[in-house]
Chain A
């Protein structure tokens, strides 16, 4: 009798145990699923602006609108700062015969930034190389090697000291020509980050405008973006990247002699000019700079070509950047602080 009672008791109780365990299991599963953070999906769009491939990668509720707004703004900046577009403000300044031209705050901002970098790099970055760009045919693709005399003449019109700013007016002396190409693209990337954040403070992703990369926010909200640095002498069957950096914020820009160039008699002539000699600068074939803003990184990467290796390694950290430089003997050099970005953190 006692035994029977016990069996009945166990049988009846079994169901309640099963129910309890099922309930706990469901609870654990629910906690598990709710604790999983939803991994944000990334919207990706590629387009061509600034004569280069632009890739926008955004994760946000408003990703579509952010991407459209960024592309629209980049095209606007491209037109506004294109020295060969008759509608652009730079064209107006360049063709004003030294007269004062009224400009808006945005142009003043970019121009002042360009002049700031010209000043601190002792002219290694110079926004007035427009005359040289034209002389060598980099404005329209009719490349040629000018005579020494032509270069000597052109150099009379080169020098950032020829840019004068007074209030909201700008004028160029000595027939100088502005070319803000070395900084406007970086500026557009900085603007793009601001646009993304204005739409959605929590947006993450990055913008890559032909080697000028700005981080909107860390991958999946907390991880590094892994960014490859292009091998400047990339050939098929060789490594396309020569280094990898890990970034959660900030910007990185690479300038290389492979971006725009022509080869004559086996010699490569590229688009980064030395404002002192009038010839494409030599010695360095690729310069990558990590800095707070993309405009800064862009300007400093260009400056490195003319600062040369030793000065660059010494001064770029003082200007707020870290540099990775490839010289023409294919050797890699880096500022000591660059190493921080070569590891995930």
Chain B
């Protein structure tokens, strides 16, 4: 227990962990501030303004259409070219084509939007977890701290797993209040700059589960970062690996699959699974295919990626990387 407490203290003392945490929280604050500033509450005044704007645009369109028709007839009489010869077909648009709701300012509908707003929270927590997790053990290897610790605690696996436990506990201590604060701040913004109407216990439950999945995603990212840095005995192993995977493995692979005409190319890309984990399901479409419907329309083939698929992938990833890190910790010499 003393080792666990010490590792928690070490994590809290690490300047890099503090800066990364502060940076992640700052980004969240900026996103929240952006949400506050870019939305406003819809009231009678805003609706009236939207009506006026829609009417004005309709009038403008009617004028433009009349001018077009006149120009068309003139061109017809002079025998010059115009984009159409059927001047009678140039009709003013109907008033219904200009709906007032399109002219309403952006508003934050908590029920409609908050689920999506949990994705940036999970992404930032995941990034902080990955980088801090990698640095926490990578710097220890790199600066000889791990060797010093092993001279005190020669049980290698216990030391590594205790470090991981401390990291995940620290991340939870950040992620839980951060998620609670995100719920609170978005609820407040929705009250001040939007609406919280239509919320039911089912909606709350769904949001809470999404938030929970976001925290799990952050824990997975932290574990993978930790395991990679431990494998390479350097922080750069994890960070370099992540960059390599994103640039070569994702962007490069995406282009290659696209060029090769592979069906559902996104199914090979990691972000798809992260997104599926958060949104529960992602439906990929193959636009090259055509499934004729009884109405004669052409529908693309689809492939559903669900959060269960993602959970299998994450479990395999964690088992693979952490297992390799533990194996090398046990077998390799400490030099």
A, B bound:
no
- A residues whose Cβ falls under 8 Å from a Cβ of B: none
